[in-house]
Chain A
Amino acid sequence: MSVLELTNISKHFGAIQAVNDVSLSLEAGEVVGLMGDNGAGKSTLVKMIAGNFQPSHGTMRMDGKELVLHKPVDARRHGIEIVHQDLALCNNLTAAANVFLGRELRRGFGPLRILDYAGMYKRAGQIFAELKSETRPRDLIRQMSGGQRQAVAIARTRLSDAKIVLMDEPTAAISVRQVAEVLNLIRRLRDQGITVVLISHRMPDVFDVADRVIVLRRGRKVADKRIADSSPVEVTGLITGAIEQV
């Protein structure tokens, strides 16, 4: 049985049809490459899965049960984590504060529950070590390099035992060495049985780690096939529209 199943999902913003009648299913422990030109609707699609947007039409089912997400917290409760395309970081806060943004650790009781600074620094430090990042929990985002920022955004997905990790262009702004680290992480997640959706423009990355590739064009799904049965040339054709549909 699939972990997540989307049926006839659409999303429009006023007159703009960002995602149009997309159905797909995600299996446990697979890596799915999600590709498409700018504006194809990739980010909108994963934001619906992450609870940032509600679909205009269509349904989502997780483990066979209907899934309605009103806010990001709902998605996280169901084991869905996301790395946003723009990373969604606050420059004025520390790395640890950003990792825990929206789900801060607290200690104490009732109204006197206060932020657990020590606990958050510790956990964030452990995750950065796990990610082999030299990012330090107390540093401000403002002073960080692209790779360190990326690590902070990715670290958020490691806070809970996720079932599905959505990565929206996680390798767009980082060095070659760091790209390799991210791809390694994706493999490690898959080995733990976690489903990863990787949005990327970098054809080699997708063909390197993904088991399956889904192509969106102008909001519609135009391909969904195993990597082994496809080729970069074919996918490029599907993205640009040179190949209509497969």
Chain B
Amino acid sequence: MAEMVMDQAQRPGGLDRAEQGLLGAPVPRWEGAAKVTGAAPYAYEQSPPGTVYVAIVPAAIGRGQVTGVDAGGAEALPGVLAVIHDDPRMPAGEGNSRAKPQPNTGRVYHYGQAVAMVVAEDGEVARAAARLVQVRYEETPGRFDVEKQAPIREHGLGFLPAIDKGDLDAAMAAAEVTLDETYTTPVHFPAALEPHATTAWWEDGQLTVRTSNQIAGAARKTIATALGIEASRVRVLAPFVGGGFGGKTGVGPEAVYAAIAAERVGRPAKVVLSRRQTAYVAHHRSHTTQRIRLAAGRDGRLSGIGHESVAAQNEIGEFLEPVPFGTLPLYAGENRRFRTDLVRVDLPATGAVRAPGEAVGTFGVECAMDELAHRLGIDPIELRRRNEPEVDPTNGKPFTTRRLLDCYTQGATRFGWERRDATPGSVRDGEWLIGMGMAAALRGNFTVEAQARVRLEVGGRAVIETDMTDIGTGTYTILAQVAGDMLGLPMTAIDVRLGDSDFPASAGSGGSFGAGSSAAAVALACEDVLAELALRMNAAPEDLRLKGGQVSAGGRSAALADLVRDKAVEGHGRMAPGKVSRATSQASHGAQFAEVAVNAVTGEIRVRRMLGVFDIGRVLNRRTAQNQAVGGMVWGLAYALSEDGVVDTRDGRFVNPDFGEYHVAVNADVPQIECEFIEEVDDAANPVGAKGVGELGISGAGAAVANAIFNATGVRVRDFPVTLDKLLAGLPPL
């Protein structure tokens, strides 16, 4: 076992000596052929023979108690095997990676909550029968309107405690210029294209669950807890996950349902949520109300900054959107206040969706900075430069790598920022009003423990095994690149096995910590392998040179396969956070730019181009990293313009829980988007020096679009998304 605890900045030597030329290179995805041919198996596919179908019966009320279930009609349908509603292990409410499954008490916490299931021979019958299950309720009035609930200040929810440093009120009173504005963001659905799905089967008391989940190891524990069995009796498989975006970090009730169904009928069972069910049974991102206060001098220097918000959670949820998380280290200013208050509602659970905190928090702080720049007559980039802190202004810790200023400079040049006219509404192209906007991007970086195994097999191929998942993030590819580089093997000589909870435990995919942590664990496992190879070469590990399947040291050379002979070489790696992780302030950074055209007659908004320049530490694969960063920028675009989950405040239903009405970006919404990296290896982040990518692209992207709309039209919309009805009244005369 090769181990690195991040007590100080460090890097495995084998990584620096690597000669294969894979790391960082834009190599195509390792699993690409499987994906483009449809051969890659997702959770609901390639089911074992005899698999039965489970359909969920959703609650038809927003709050209350189940008083009885009449399953007779459903049971009478040919093909129905069981209707299950009274099993105490059936969870009520949602799973979250940290939440304990709620026992089944018949309590209804929200509309659409799973309250029963039908098990049938085929999917059509199961779905039809689910509609025949008669559930009786005792209904109680629900809290469905977030605006009408009184915020709770002392709630203990979430990982981010309230921060009050200095005296913001006094700073506001004394400042030459102040800004005090409130911004709101709506409910956002993660809406991964693959709906949540699980296939479960029992063999000799052992449960195997193939599920669409971001974190296989945590899922194993949660499922075991829910079923009241030892974790060692559960195996979770998630080799391919059709997108997660936070919505698959926890174990949904449907996964436990599948296990219970399989046990009850003695056959493998599978379940998939319908598109609309995903909105209710999986968590969403809370709406937020964000009050931003900025106290500044006429030179733009901040003396105070406040980011105080309200976000929602239901009665049993334990998560709270950490709205100001990205604001904490962003700008200087002595007096600082950050808090998020809670409103309790009777709606589906809120939870972590791509960049919890920053994705919506940047709408507040980055639009506010744009407004302040406008009021002061200072360029928005210059205003940000003047407030760039030396150390983390909230906790005083030193930054590890922070290239934010370089991102601004490089981005401004590349985007042609100097061509921007600072007077809103002054640039026209026919009937279109043209504007440019920018915003800072910041996403906190986490160091999370991870392990991996690398085995050089007889014949000279390498096999990587970890319970890490690839949810579209490029994990298969980057892990193969790390091992290939360090062991001197081409991509084609490497097998990557992921998403199996029997493999060494990783951090899973979430919080953008997956790539750095799992790549580090693989790099360390390779160090372990190299140590054994050095022994066999009778050389020091530092003297080994590995390339193209050949090892050389001290003038001698051997094929890797010959060195392995008939004895495979297995290495284990483990990386864990340590002193330097706690003593420093770490984040990925970037600068976002957008150019929009707003139709002067109709108010229609088109994004013409976007550019992101990002500081993500070491770039592990330029192509997959760019793709992910651009994908995040597209999310920002859609958050700015169209994504808007609407609650019917009469009964707690969602008005638009599907792709027909909840508008994610489609191809025609998206221009060609450019993305660049400023690469500085961050040796304090983890042993491969990579910081998070997946959530950085969304941070600030939407604010850049909103700021561009202001520059185009002179209309400042603070209630997101910015739709044409909110612009029309304020558009300049034709």
Is the pairing of A and B real?
no
- Give chain A's interface residues, CB within 8 Å of chain B: none
